[in-house]
């Protein structure tokens, strides 16, 4: 398996996945380069959405494909935004940075009077060798922290500027890319996926 279609148009995710899969000699191709539109995410769980997106990209491209569904889950909000993290402030409008800004503004507003700021990022990655793969690879990661009102840092994307790691005293947006990839929810899930891909049957696929 030397070429994988990424079922996402998110440039931040593409950058992170390419960095993590490069050591295996795997080329990550975003579905947009193949003229494939984003698939629907109608489900209420991360794993179902990731699987739907991966199957959609594989069906359209005829290639192995993978997708992640990830989001921030805030204790005081009953786990919200959760699977709605990317669309927390409503349907996407404008560019990615504008959407991130509106999502973060809503999150901070919702937490304004809540003392409990605990949160965690969840990431589920699903890889299918073809659209009908009955045994998709599924890897999961979880990253614990807390939400801070004032954004800090210029790296990362999404909620990273507001996601504080108490043990480091920094937000996710204040970490260098390699540092973030080693410990983040997506990094954890990718590390587990990479271990699966090291198996002979997947290398030969």
Catalytically active residues are 69
And the tokens for 9?
A: 């148009």
Distance separating alpha carbons of residues 69 and 50, to the nearest angstrom: 5
Distance separating alpha carbons of residues 138 and 148, to the nearest angstrom: 31
Q: Phi first, then psi: give them for residue 193, nearest 5 degrees.
A: -65, -40
And the tokens for 82?
A: 């959760």
Query: From start to end of the chain, where are the E strands?
Result: 3-6, 27-30, 65-74, 118-128, 137-147, 163-165, 170-171
Distance separating alpha carbons of residues 197 and 195, to the nearest angstrom: 5
């Amino acid at each position: 398996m030397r070429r994988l279609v990424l079922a996402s148009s998110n440039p931040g995710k593409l950058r992170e996945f390419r960095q993590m899969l490069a050591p295996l000699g795997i080329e990550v191709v975003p579905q947009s380069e193949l003229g494939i539109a984003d698939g629907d995410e109608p489900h209420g769980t991360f794993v179902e959405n990731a699987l739907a997106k991966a199957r959609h990209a594989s069906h359209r491209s005829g290639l192995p494909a993978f997708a992640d569904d990830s989001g921030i889950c805030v204790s005081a909000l009953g786990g919200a935004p959760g699977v709605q993290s990317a669309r927390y402030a409503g349907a996407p409008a404008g560019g990615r940075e504008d959407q991130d800004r509106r999502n973060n503004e809503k999150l901070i507003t919702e937490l304004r009077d809540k003392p409990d700021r605990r949160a965690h990022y969840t990431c589920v990655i699903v890889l299918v060798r073809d659209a009908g793969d009955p045994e998709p690879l599924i890897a999961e990661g979880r990253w614990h922290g807390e939400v801070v009102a004032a954004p800090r840092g210029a790296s990362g994307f999404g909620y990273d500027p507001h996601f504080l790691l108490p043990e480091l005293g920094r937000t996710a947006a204040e970490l260098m890319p390699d540092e973030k990839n080693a410990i983040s929810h997506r990094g954890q899930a990718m590390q587990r996926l990479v271990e699966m891909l090291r198996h002979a049957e997947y290398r030969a696929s």
